[in-house]
Amino acid sequence: MGPPPGQAGSVSISRDELSSFEAARGSMARETTWHTRESRILGGSARLRTARWDVVANGKNDELQSTSGTMNGILTHAQIDGLLNEGHIVTAASIDQEQRQPASLDLRLGHEALAIRAGFLPTGRVEEQVESLVVDRVSLTNGAVLRRNQVYLVKLLEGLALPEHISARANPRSSTGRIDVFTRTVVDGHDRFDDVPAGYTGPLWLEVVPRSFDVRVTTGQRLNQIRFFVGDPILGDDELAERLETDDLVPDGTPADMHDGSLLLGLSLRADVEGAPIGWRARDDAPVLDLANVGGHPAGEFFVPVHTSGDGTLILKPEGFYILASSERVRVPGDLAAEMLPYDVGMGELRTNYAGFFDSGFGWGPGSPHGSRAVLEVRPHDVPFRVEHRQPIFRLQYSRTVEPCRELYGSNGSAYQNQGLRLARYFSTND
């Protein structure tokens, strides 16, 4: 499917795309309601019925227990395949295997980036409301450079025709956050970024703002991901406390606090190897970063190493972009997923964690016996800001999946499993 037709300053959705969305939506007529019938989407080998399914915390992560009430949980790769097969995820090109994650789906850039004067939240259809903001149209079919601090809007190759009881949430991929490319997902008629309401039918758009580097991107590349859920999947404090103990979620430390199903975790200012950097700061004079050239960019052309001062603290420069690591290693069992959240928006001076979703299996299993550190993307605002070792800086919120994932994060290889301090996969060295 080629770029949308139209003149500069306008964008339209094709008749074929609208037909695809409506056809997918119509397929749901065969399902009367999730409260009274078995769902084929949540079926397959599991054949789950509409009930609440809670994972039994017995250390084996392989047993499901049904209780009365409503199903709550994040859909795993098996149910996401069901959404694809049922036409609830509409694609302009066949899904690639590398898009599939244990409890999420990577989304792909479409054929055109609209350079716009400002980001916005639509009260109606995005394609109509963006018209007055477009200043340039950039074809991505053969690749193009997106410039620093310019706001772009890209229609993704995937769209949705969700059932009435499935919602979704999107976030940047880890590799996107680590190169300081700010993204957020926009959908028609909804007043929250990265949030897709239950029953949504329509296209998905991605706002893209490179902050530190000019980046070259191409149609089909993956900057963000989406996860689907039913009900409220977040663990309660009592259940999280039990899993913290039985599954050793933080194997090398004790969280500073636990609240709202999340663990309060800190910042590491100590190098794993004496003399090594404790972080990286983006350079102001870096060349273009080509996202097709994985592992081909010398790290020193884009980042400078960061070391602590003599008293073991670090002063962050205003509007500098830093890659730092958590002081604790964390684990995400196969029946859970996790999201990294800011500790306290009242801190004000810091923005942390552009990319914050941990798929099932992160830091878990034989390939990662001691867990993995969370890598933090940090940008201070307004004034210099001093941080200390183990200073609480983010929360890790755990959610249940509707069933244990049969394929875990890292099982087919990952640049970030069992990680310490690590730059994005586009760089040739992390020394």
The DSSP annotation for 259-276 comes to ETTEEEEEEE-S-SSTT-
SS3 428: coil
pLDDT for the residue 367: 74
The answer to whether domain 15-230 and domain 237-400 are alike in fold is yes
- Tokens representing residue 20 in the block: 């695809």
For residue range 78-104, list pLDDT tens digits in order: 999 999 999 999 998 899 999 999 999
pLDDT for the residue 147: 98
pLDDT for the residue 113: 98
Q: How many whole angstroms separate alpha carbon 267 and alpha carbon 245?
A: 22
- 334-363 mean pLDDT: 77
For residue range 7-20, list pLDDT tens digits in order: 333 333 344 544 44
pLDDT interval class at 68 (50, 70, 90): very low
Q: State percent of the chain over pLDDT 90.
A: 61
15-230: CATH superfamily: Deoxyuridine triphosphatase (dUTPase) (2.70.40.10)
How far from the centroid of its chain's Cα atoms is residue 218's Cα? 20
Round to the nearest angstrom and report the end-to-end CA distance of the chain: 42
- 142-168 mean pLDDT: 97
pLDDT interval class at 241 (50, 70, 90): very high
- 61-82 mean pLDDT: 66
SS3 59: coil
Exposed / middle / buried, residue 203 (Cβ in 10 Å: 0-12, 13-18, 19+):
buried
pLDDT for the residue 411: 61
237-400: CATH architecture: Distorted Sandwich (2.70)
Domain boundaries, the chain: 15-230, 237-400
- Could you tell me which of 203, 198, 188 has the C-alpha nearest to residue 166? 198
Exposed / middle / buried, residue 391 (Cβ in 10 Å: 0-12, 13-18, 19+):
middle
- Tokens representing residue 152 in the block: 């772009």
The least confident of 50-59, 70-79, 211-220, 232-241 is 50-59
Alpha helices for 152-215 (secondary structure H): 174-177
Asked if the model's pLDDT at residue 2 lies above 60, the reply is no
